[in-house]
Amino acid sequence: MDQELRKVASDVPGVLLAAAEHLTKLANDNVALEQRAESAEHQVACYKLARRMEERGLQQELTFDEKVAALQQLPVAKIATMEQAVELSAGGFSLGTVAEDSKTASPNGVENPEALESFINSGAAYGA
């Protein structure tokens, strides 16, 4: 029996070394899988955010794929901030434009005050 214990005792360092190597390999695999999962979650978040931007009419000059590509360039921490910004933005409509009306502008660049008054008095300023 003494012989068997010595044999087992001599095998212990090899078994422990193999176990340590196996655990190290599993830990490295775990880290790689976590990174892949985080990358996939980031990509899904970018797709969802780009879809929400499309729904709200934001950055209409970009295609969906261009929006996704731009969002994927952002760090993961900024995606949550972007989501909040998209939800807070009005998007999808225009309040108006600013342009010079050649009919009401004077040649020297001074606006015609009667044009503003007639615009307000006609009810056009109120959507009438």
The pLDDT of residue 12: 80
The pLDDT of residue 41: 93
pLDDT surpassing 70 at residue 81: yes
Same domain, 77 and 28: yes
107 vs 97, 112, 117, CA distance in Å? Answer: 22, 10, 19
Q: Is 62 exposed, middle or buried (0-12, 13-18, 19+ CB in 10 A)?
A: middle
Q: What is the pLDDT of residues 99-118, one digit of tens each?
A: 666 665 555 554 556 766 76
Report the pLDDT averaged over residues 67-75.
Answer: 92
Residue with more model confidence, 88 or 25? 25
Report the pLDDT averaged over residues 51-79.
Answer: 89
Give how many domains the chain has, as a whole number: 2
Residue with more model confidence, 5 or 47? 47
Q: What is the pLDDT of residues 9-50, one digit of tens each?
A: 788 888 888 889 999 999 999 999 999 999 999 999 999 999
Same domain, 72 and 9: yes
Same domain, 9 and 43: yes
The pLDDT of residue 6: 80
Note down the domain range covering 107. 98-128
Same domain, 16 and 63: yes
Same domain, 127 and 73: no
Number of Cβ within 10 Å of residue 97's Cβ equals 5
Cα–Cα distance for residue pair 78/82, rounded to 1 Å: 6
Confidence class for position 91, pLDDT limits 50, 70, 90: low
Cβ within 8 Å of residue 89, ≥6 positions away: 56, 58
Report the pLDDT averaged over residues 83-98.
Answer: 72
Confidence class for position 59, pLDDT limits 50, 70, 90: confident
